[in-house]
Amino acid sequence: MKLFEDKFELFFNDLVLQKFKEECRSKSLMALQIKNGNIPKWNDAIDELNNYAKGELGLNEPYVSIKNIGASIENIELNLRKLLPWRKGPFIFNDLILDSEWLGDLKWQRLINKIKPLKNKRVLDVGAGNGYFTLRMALEGAKKVIGIEPFLLFNFQFMAIETLSNQNLNSILLPLRLEELPSMPIFDSVFSMGVLYHQRNHMGHLNMLKEMMADDSELILETLIVDGPKNFTIVPKGRYANMRNVFCLPSIETLKSWLLDAGFKNINLINLSQTTSQEQRKTQWIGDKPASLEDFLDPNDPNLTVEGYPAPKRAIIICTN
């Protein structure tokens, strides 16, 4: 907790962020104090990692890397495994490859040359997971990057990464939902990747994203879509590709109409790709009983999920406010 508070004070030492500081701080600390039986184990991992000499945070594509950590690979791995499962990544710590379920670099390469440069910009990463993309944004030279992620395990994974690093790249992860943030129309780039389909109220989510955007800013939206005409959607009954809480899958034209209704402009589809087991797959870093995309597709037809819906296909759209 103290590590988070110390980082928070440093990060929010900014004239623009100061007026949002106390609300973000109090809500974050409240979220971190929730009862969860895993927290002692997670805290133990952070405390152990904090004993090691810090390393240098950087990029060794596809990995976010930390090199020259003053610890053995065995000790680093022992403590990082207390934080299973690792969904987003990959990372490399000294020579230890943390091979996450998702190869995030593939998604990053689809968008990085299409978006406005992040250098010296304020960036918001909504649904940031363990901060792999948050760190990629910081490594692009962003002035400030705020990631938000309500799932506590992912926050502890981000703390572990930061604990091993001796550099402050002006990035932070807050254990909050978008609706818990104060209205902060200060961000030059807002990312919402893999979040929209988990929202009961998709228009509410888009409107809240817009409220966070400064003048002349850019939204980068990545989400599941389905083939079909305008106004076509699929509302899964039960699970979708074994995922809970998938509420609505729109066609591309439906998604564009939602963005127009929310007041976005210059809507541009920059990528459309079906998710494959090259990008999302089982690894030793997702637990003792690993399951991933290959288990969630129809064994007789990879274009269908096990529930009979179209297999996951993702679109990346850039638009302005």
Among 99, 95, 106, 91, smallest CA distance to 292 is for 99
pLDDT, position 227: 98
**Six-digit token pair at 297?**
């597709």
Question: What is the rounded distance in angstroms from the CA atom of residue 111 to the CA atom of residue 97?
Answer: 24
Among 44, 55, 49, 50, smallest CA distance to 95 is for 55
3-class SS of residue 293: helix
Residues 6+ apart with CB under 8 A from 304: 297, 298, 310, 311
Q: Where are the alpha helices (DSSP H) in 55-196?
A: 73-80, 104-111, 132-139, 152-163
> 2-11 and 21-32 are packed helices; what angle lies between their axes, rounded to 10 degrees?
160
pLDDT at 167 over 90: no
Band (pLDDT 50/70/90 cuts) for residue 216 is very high
Q: What percent of the chain has pLDDT over 70?
A: 100
Question: What is the rounded distance in angstroms from the CA atom of residue 157 to the CA atom of residue 43?
Answer: 10
pLDDT, position 183: 93
Cis peptide leading into residue 310 (ω within 30°): no
pLDDT, position 223: 98
Question: What is the rounded distance in angstroms from the CA atom of residue 97 to the CA atom of residue 78?
Answer: 13
pLDDT at 138 over 90: yes
Residues forming beta bridges with residue 67, ordered by sequence position = 56
pLDDT digits (tens, 9 = 90+) for 272-304: 999 999 999 999 999 988 999 999 999 999 999
pLDDT, position 198: 97
pLDDT, position 143: 97
Least confident of 2-11, 49-58, 266-275: 2-11
Q: Are 161 and 91 in contact (CB under 8 A)?
A: yes
pLDDT digits (tens, 9 = 90+) for 263-273: 999 999 999 99
pLDDT digits (tens, 9 = 90+) for 54-101: 999 999 999 999 999 999 999 999 999 999 999 999 999 999 999 999
pLDDT, position 2: 80
Q: What is the mean pLDDT of residues 235-256?
A: 97
pLDDT, position 214: 98
Question: What is the rounded distance in angstroms from the CA atom of residue 305 to the CA atom of residue 127?
Answer: 24
β-strands 265-274, 313-320: how paired? antiparallel
Cα angle for residues 164, 36, 83 (degrees, 5° grid):
30
Q: Are 317 and 270 in contact (CB under 8 A)?
A: yes
Burial class (CB in 10 A: 0-12, 13-18, 19+), 267: middle
Band (pLDDT 50/70/90 cuts) for residue 169 is confident
Residues forming beta bridges with residue 5, ordered by sequence position = none
Task: Calculate the average pLDDT of the chain.
Answer: 96
Q: What is the mean pLDDT of residues 203-229?
A: 98
**Torsions phi, psi for 175 (to 5 deg):** -85, 55
Question: What is the rounded distance in angstroms from the CA atom of residue 24 to the CA atom of residue 144?
Answer: 15
pLDDT at 168 over 80: no
What CA dihedral angle connects 185, 186, 192 and 198, to 10 degrees?
Answer: -40
Q: What is the mean pLDDT of residues 32-53?
A: 95
pLDDT digits (tens, 9 = 90+) for 93-109: 999 999 999 999 999 99
Through-space distance between the first and last CA atoms of the chain, rounded to whole angstroms: 36
Band (pLDDT 50/70/90 cuts) for residue 136 is very high
- The answer, as to whether pTM is greater than 0.95, is yes
β-strands 187-193, 213-225: how paired? parallel
pLDDT, position 3: 81
pLDDT, position 289: 85
3-class SS of residue 268: strand
Q: Are 297 and 306 in contact (CB under 8 A)?
A: yes
Helix, strand, coil percent content, the chain, rounded in steps of 5: 35, 25, 40
Residues forming beta bridges with residue 250, ordered by sequence position = 233
pLDDT, position 120: 97
pLDDT at 311 over 80: yes
Band (pLDDT 50/70/90 cuts) for residue 203 is very high
